[in-house]
Amino acid sequence: MAWRHALLLDPAASDDPGTDFAATLTPIDPAAPALSVGELSTQRGDGIFESIGVVDGHPQEVGAHLERLAHSARLCDLPVPNLTQWAQAIAAAAAECPPGECVIKLILSRGVEHGPAPTAWVTASSAPDNSVPRHDGVRVVTLDRGFDSGAPARAPWLLLGAKTLSYATNMAALREAHRRGAADAVFVASDGVLLEGPTSSLVLRSGDRFVTPAPGAGILHGTTQLSLFAHLADRGHETAYETLPASALLDADAAWLVSSVRLAVGITAVDDAPLPYDPDFTRELNAYLLSPRD
C-alpha cells in the first residue's frame, strides 16, 4: 500500500511574528475519516489545492506552489493562506517522505457551512511510477474545452486560472482520451486557441525556441513550465508565452506535457498524426526536473 502521512492545519492560527506554527499542525491518521459530514464545501469542490513533487525528501518549487495557492485563494474569495504555516506543514510532511519520489498535496476548502474557518490539510504519499510515460512519451487527442479564449475575462466566476478542487471535468477529459485510444488530452478553446492538458501544461519546441500558451486564455500557470523555462533560458534557448492556434501543435518540432509529479512527457502523436519525439532531450529535461529545485 502507498505510504502516507497527513497533517491538519489550523487556518485560524494567529500570524503574529513569533507564532509557533508547529503547535498548529496536527498529525492525523491518513487511513481514518477526517472530514466532517457537514463539510459541504469540500463535497461541492469549493476549495483549492496544490500537488508538490518531492524527490529524496526535497519538496520542489515550494515558493511557486505557495504563490499559486495564494493566487487561487484570492480568485475564490478564500481567506489569504498563512504561507509561513503552510511552508512549515510542507517541511514537516517532507521530513516523513522516504527516499525516491513522493507527492505532497495541500488542500484548503471553505470548510463547514457557516463554520468559523476553512478546513486545511496536507498529505504526503509515494508518487506513482511515471518511468514509462517519461521514457516512451504519450499519444494525445485534442478536446474542445467548451468555451472560447475570452471566457476567463468575461466570466471570472468560472475560476479558470485557479487550481480548484472541481476537477471532475478534467478527469472526464482523461477518460475521453482513453476511450479514443490516447493516454492524455490537450484542450483547445472553442475559438481554436491551444490551452493545456487536463493536469499539465503544454510546451512546444520550434528549433531553438520554446513556447507555451499564454496563461490569460483560462489555463493554470504551471510551476513546472515556469521552472523549465528558467532552465532553458539559462541554457541559451529562447522562451515565450503566446496565443497559439491548434495547428501549432502539429507543426511543432517537439511537444511535451509538463507537471509537478509526472514531470516532462513527450507527445508522440496528436489525434493519430505522429509528432517528432526526442527521447534524449526529454531525459535531459527530466534530469533537471528531478534535481533539487527551489
| Residues sharing a CB contact under 8 Å with residue 18, sequence separation 6 or more, in sequence order | none
Question: Cα separation of 247 and 244, whole Å?
Answer: 8
Decide: is 260 part of the binding site for ligand PLP (CB under 6 A): yes
Whose Cβ is closer to ligand PLP: residue 24's or residue 260's?
260
Stretch that binds ligand PLP, among 97-105, 191-199, 203-211, 248-256 (CB under 6 A): 191-199
Q: Cβ closer to ligand PLP: 127 or 258?
A: 258
Residues in the chain: 294
Position 259 contacts ligand PLP (CB under 6 A): yes
CA torsion sign for 238, 239, 245, 251 is positive
173 binds ligand PLP (CB under 6 A): no
User: Alpha carbon 189 to chain centroid distance?
Assistant: 20
Q: Which is closer to ligand PLP, CB of 121 or CB of 229?
A: 229
Find where cell 483549492 sits.
Answer: 48
Question: Least distance in Å: CB of 145 to ligand PLP?
Answer: 11
The residue (of 72 and 201) whose beta carbon lies closer to ligand PLP is 201
Q: Which of 41, 72, 201, 286 binds ligand PLP (CB under 6 A)?
A: 201
Total residues at the site for ligand PLP (CB under 6 A)? 14
- 140, 186 in Cβ contact below 8 A? yes
Contact residue for ligand PLP among 204, 222, 270, 285 (CB under 6 A):
222
212 binds ligand PLP (CB under 6 A): no
Distance, CA of 128 to chain centre = 15
Q: How far out from the chain centre does Cα 9 lie?
A: 21
- Rounded to an integer, what distance in angstroms lies between the CA atom of residue 110 and that of residue 218? 23
110 and 118 Cβ atoms separated by less than 8 Å: yes
- Taking CB under 6 A as the rule, does residue 224 contact ligand PLP? yes
Tell me the window of 111-119, 206-214, 253-261, 275-283 that interacts with ligand PLP (CB under 6 A): 253-261
Q: Which is nearer to ligand PLP, 112 or 138 (CB)?
A: 138
- Using alpha carbons, select from 113, 120, 109, 96 the residue that is nearest to residue 21: 120
- Residues contacting 284, CB < 8 A, separation 6+: none
Q: 223-234 vs 279-290: helix axis angle to the nearest 10?
A: 110
The burial class, CB within 10 Å (0-12 / 13-18 / 19+), for 148 is middle
**Residue among 196, 217, 255, 270 that touches ligand PLP (CB under 6 A):** 196
Q: Which stretch binds ligand PLP (CB under 6 A): 144-152, 220-228, 241-249, 264-272?
A: 220-228
Tell me how far, at minimum, the Cβ of 202 lies from ligand PLP, in Å.
9
Interface residue with ligand PLP, options 199, 268, 282, 286 (CB under 6 A): 199
Residue 21: DSSP 8-state: G
Which one of 111-119, 178-186, 223-231, 284-292 is the stretch in contact with ligand PLP (CB under 6 A)? Answer: 223-231
> Does 88 participate in binding ligand PLP (rule CB under 6 A)?
no
Q: Residue 101 interacts with ligand PLP (CB under 6 A)? A: no
Cell numbers representing residue 187 in the block = 484542450
Could you tell me the three cell numbers for 243?
496565443
- Binding footprint of ligand PLP on the chain (CB under 6 A): 51, 196, 198-201, 220, 222-225, 258-260
